[in-house]
Structure 1
Amino acid sequence: MRLKHPSNSASQTVTSSDTRLLVRETLRISANLASAPPPAAVPERSLIRDSNFGGLVEDQFVDSSYRLICCEEIDGQRWKYFADNKSVKMNGSKKFKKNSIRAVSLQDPQVPFDGMMTFVRSYVVPEGFPDSVTPAYVPYMTWRALKHFFGGAMGVFTTQTLLNSVGVSRNQSAPGAVAINWILKDGAGRVGKMLFARQGKKFDYDLKQLRFAGDLLMELGAGVELATAAVPHLFLPLACAANVAKNVAAVTSTSTRTPIYKAFAKGENIGDVTAKGECVGNVADLLGTGLSIMIAKRNPSLVTTFALLSCGYLMSSYQEVKSVVLHTLNRARFTVAVESFLKSGCVPTLQEGNSMENIFSFPWSKHRPIVLGPRFKDAFQDPNSYLAVEPIFEREKYVVSYNPSKGNIYALFKNQAKSDDILKAAFHAHVLLHIIHTSNQNQYSSWREQEQDLSMLVPTSSDLQAHIAESYKMVSALYVPFKNKAKEQGWVMSESLLNPGRARLCQLDK
């Protein structure tokens, strides 16, 4: 029996009608959209990442009381500094809130790999690489590294063979163990040598201080080696520590040797001067070795002998570096020259300036009264102090200020600062320090006569602003005469010799 299928003509008719209606409505809506004006573009608001405000915040802190006061750049990375602009009345005028400065980084956090590469570069390549060296530097150092790689590997086997040949032990494991201990000791020294190499340019301008510091480390290492006789069970750690100290001293001696010999050479004879100087050192070393062998036969007191020889060594080292006459003005000699000029109006001669240089002002010392090129946040904690002195230096490429809480003079450089601007800022910082010291001494004498509380002897913000304005006038009148007199005495000035920081103030975005 055949079944009849129901007719689907009605459903087909409905479907066709719906389709035509859908197409017609789509065309109508499209036409309306095409004829309508385009929607106004919503401007994209720049965002800044700031941990103090919980992540990304809008530029200029929209709807916030914080206002932009300064921009800073270090090695291509930028920071903006904001301060709280809430109404705080001081002396009848509105001021920023004290200690309200916030630093905002304008770049994402550094990738760990990039940070590691920056750290490695600071140890293995000179500052300013590749612009600071010739193209031949890379292939030379590549082959030199390979040479030392094979030499270090070969040294393990040669040391083991030497120890075995002198009869350390016939046991196969003993020479290997002794050799490994010896290599570990030497390896620790090499690591210390590598770490100290990060001092970089300090070997060029603070070479006297570093040379004497290296000799101090040499004697320290010798003393630690001497201590191994008292505690032989601690031989390996003590020997490693001694080797670290002595290898650091070796790096210092090697790095400062050429600049010192260069100061003695009058022509193109630096190689001859170096060779003869090393020969004199080797002859003296052999004579000292022979004398010590003769003394050792009498079995003298080890501690007494070491103390006497160390005193002679350090005294000779101090007089050695003091006798070097350098023509360049590093920070220590620049301080001597400026202070002498401010007191007497004369710049010391090369001989006088070098003899007055402080050998104990080591470059890593943090207790320095003058800081060149610091971070803005280190120089200023109060935004009002910056805004008060900033107009004074509107025509200069630097800003000089005094931070009473830290007792330091800070010279901040603008990004347009050239070599002469940095030298002028350093001179200005010394002038301001001289004015503040003179003022404090006068107030101290006056207050002491009146028997007032000397603990209140702290300069006010108005006093500091007056001192800075006075120093600006003095620098305008004295800087050029100082340069001329320094040049007459044969001094060579360069901003790189002063080792300024890399932070620079940028122009604010308009």
Structure 2
Amino acid sequence: MSRNIYDIDPAGNVLCTYNGESQESLRAHQTKIPPLTALLHAFLPAGYPHSVTPDYLPYQTYDSLQAFFSSISSLLANRAVLEGLGVGDASSSPTGALILKIASDTISRVATILFAHRLGTAIEPECKFFRFLADCLNDAAQLLDLLVPAMMERYGLKLGVIVGAGVLRSWCGVAASASKASLSAHFIVVASQQKGGGNNLAELNAKEASQETVVSLLGMLVGSLVVQVVQDRLVVWVLMVGLLGVHLLMNYWGVRCVRCRTLNRQRATMVVREWLETGRVLGPEEDGLESHYENEVPLLGYTSEEQKGTVFAALAAVGWDLETNALETRSPVRVRVGIGKKVPIPSEKDLIRQPHVSKKD
């Protein structure tokens, strides 16, 4: 009796069909995949779109656009540094340029260690802020690079500018890598709860690296034409400011697309305040949840274990992640109600829930 065995990906697509009457006689039939679909599979996570959160695609779109503009601006900045180091000038000393490079790298590595030690624990709960901050630091470093050619005869100032740019880049590296790791975990954590979702964080990061490689290559090709055409320093500055402005705008829109499911101080403040004032429990996808910043939780401390259980049960019911340990970096976020006041128990209509998250008992 003939039998069929199907190899299915996380999205439910049949990759291969095996048929035969016994294990020895099984024959494989590969499913034909259209060329465009096969190309997309090289850059999107396995099982897309079921294996990632809904905010993955808009974030990656803006992230790719910002990487494109950053690639062009980095070429302009690198040319300015090479010019300032004396490339093409027969009177310049290669040893002097090497000393500048050594000094910059040494101080930058020390700055990397200090930044990671001082702010390492703050990055996960505030990953969106640090993701945007990383690009602000990188853009500031590129602006410093443009100043290097104007300091050809001022070795001390040139050293300070190059070292300063290196320090900013080192801070950018720590903030960008750590915040990206947290964002990748955000995209994949919810995916494991969705239909066909997987939990392959490594594969998600690998596909993101492939996307960045292609976008950066396109940016370098366009940038190579730009650096040949644009030579005047004033035009370079105007173009640089425009590129960095668009770069930051793409980053801002990108992080605004992300709907974090962890409660940092700001989100906990707004959720708890809305609950105690109106009885509604806001979910992670509420539109106005991150429209403004509040740095202090006005209600601190628990009054009873029963009220604490009510708080966390309601938060979990609307989709908040209470198990990632990304709640706060300084003092823990806690909830307190006034003396004699009970925590309101939300009704079904008060729970603003994500479509893919079901209410817990």
Normalising by the residue count of structure 1, what TM-score does the alignment of the two structures yield? 0.41
Distance 1:207 1:335, change over 3 A: same
Question: Which residue of 295, 303, 313 maps to 2:226?
Answer: 295
Q: Which residue of 2 aligns with 1:10?
A: none
Indicate yes or no: 2:183 matched with 1:183. Answer: no
Distance 1:499 1:193 in 2: 20
Structure-2 separation of matches of 1:352 and 1:278: 30
Give matches, 1:427-438, under 5 Å. Answer: none
How far apart, CA to CA, are the structure 2 residues paired with 1:485 and 1:360?
A: 23
Is 1:499 aligned to residue 334 of structure 2? Answer: no
Q: Which amino acid aligns with 1:193?
A: T
- Are the structure 2 counterparts of residues 187 and 282 from structure 1 closer, same or farther at C-alpha, using a change threshold of 3 Å? same
- The one-letter amino acid paired with 1:293 is S
| Inter-partner Cα distance in structure 2 for 1:168 and 1:295 | 23
Whether the aligned pair in 2 keeps the contact of 1:209 and 1:360 (CA below 8 Å) is: no
Of residues 113, 117, 141, the one that matches 1:194 is 113
Cα distance in 1 for residues equivalent to 2:187 and 2:204: 8
How far residue 167 of structure 1 moved from its aligned partner, in angstroms, is 8.4
**Higher Rg:** 1
User: Partner of 1:319 in structure 2?
Assistant: 253
Displacement of 1:292: 2.4
Residue type of the alignment partner of 1:259: S
State the alpha-carbon separation in 1 of the partners of residues 219 and 312 from structure 2: 46
Q: Kindly tell me: are residues 342 and 360 of structure 1, through their superposed partners in 2, closer, same or farther at Cα, counting changes over 3 Å? A: closer
> Quick check: 2:266–2:293 contact (8 Å CA) kept in 1?
no
496 and 204 in structure 1: CA distance in 2 versus 1, 3 angstrom threshold: closer
Give 1:188's aligned amino acid: I
What amino acid is the match of 2:289?
A: M
The residue that corresponds to 1:54 in the other structure is: none
Q: Is the 8 A contact 2:137 2:169 kept in 1?
A: yes
Distance 2:249 2:125 in 1: 22
| Contact in 1 for aligned 2:270/2:289 (Cα 8 Å) | yes
Q: Which residue of 1 is the match for residue 163 of structure 2?
A: 240
Q: 1:253 to 1:286 in 2, by over 3 A?
A: same
Q: Which residue of 2 aligns with 1:488?
A: 317
Structure 1 residue aligned with 2:296, among 363, 369, 375? Answer: 369
2:290 corresponds in structure 1 to 357
What is residue 436 of structure 1 aligned with on the other side?
none
Partner of 2:141: 221
Between the aligned partners of 1:340 and 1:275, the Cα distance in structure 2 is 40
Residue number among 128, 132, 153 corresponding to 1:212 in the alignment: 132
Q: SS of the residue aligned with 1:228?
A: helix
Unaligned 5+ residue runs, structure 2? 1-84, 192-197, 333-361
For structure 1, list consecutive stretches of 5 or more residues without a partner in the other structure. 1-162, 362-367, 371-408, 412-424, 429-471, 503-510
Q: Retained in 2: the 8 A contact 1:212–1:359? A: no
Does 1:231 pair with 2:151? yes
**3-state SS in 2 of match to 1:229:** helix
Match of 1:339 in 2: 273
One-letter identity of the residue aligned with 2:259: V
1:405-456, CA deviations, whole angstroms, 9 ceiling, x for partnerless residues? Answer: xxxx595xxxxxxxxxxxxx2xx6xxxxxxxxxxxxxxxxxxxxxxxxxxxx
2-structure distance, mates of 1:223, 1:359: 29
Does the 8 Å contact 1:208/1:359 carry over to 2?
A: no
Deviations 1:12-61 (A, max 9, x none): xxxxxxxxxxxxxxxxxxxxxxxxxxxxxxxxxxxxxxxxxxxxxxxxxx
Corresponding residue for 2:346? none
CA-CA distance at 1:231 after TM superposition: 3.2
8 Å Cα contact 2:263-2:326 kept in structure 1: no
Counterpart in the other structure of 2:56: none
TM superposition score normalised by structure 2:
0.56
Contact residue 211 and residue 321 of structure 1 kept, 8 A: yes
Which residue identity is paired with 1:356? L
CA–CA distance in 2 between the matches of 1:224 and 1:195?
22
Tell me the matched-pair count: 232
Out of 212, 216, 236, which is 1:285 matched to?
Answer: 216
Q: C-alpha separation between the residues in 1 aligned to 2:178 and 2:127?
A: 8
**Aligned residues: CA RMSD:** 3.2
Equivalent AA in structure 2 for residue 250 of structure 1: G
Tell me how far 1:184 sits from its aligned partner.
Answer: 0.8
Measure the CA separation in 2 of the matches of 1:213 and 1:238. Answer: 20
Q: How big is each residue's C-alpha offset from its partner over 1:232-280, in whole Å with a ceiling of 9 and x where there is no partner?
A: 3222110100110011001111112222112222323111100111111
SS across alignment from 1:297? helix
2:115–2:171: 8 Å Cα contact kept in structure 1? yes
Counterpart mapping for 1:165-180 below 5 A: 174-180=93-99
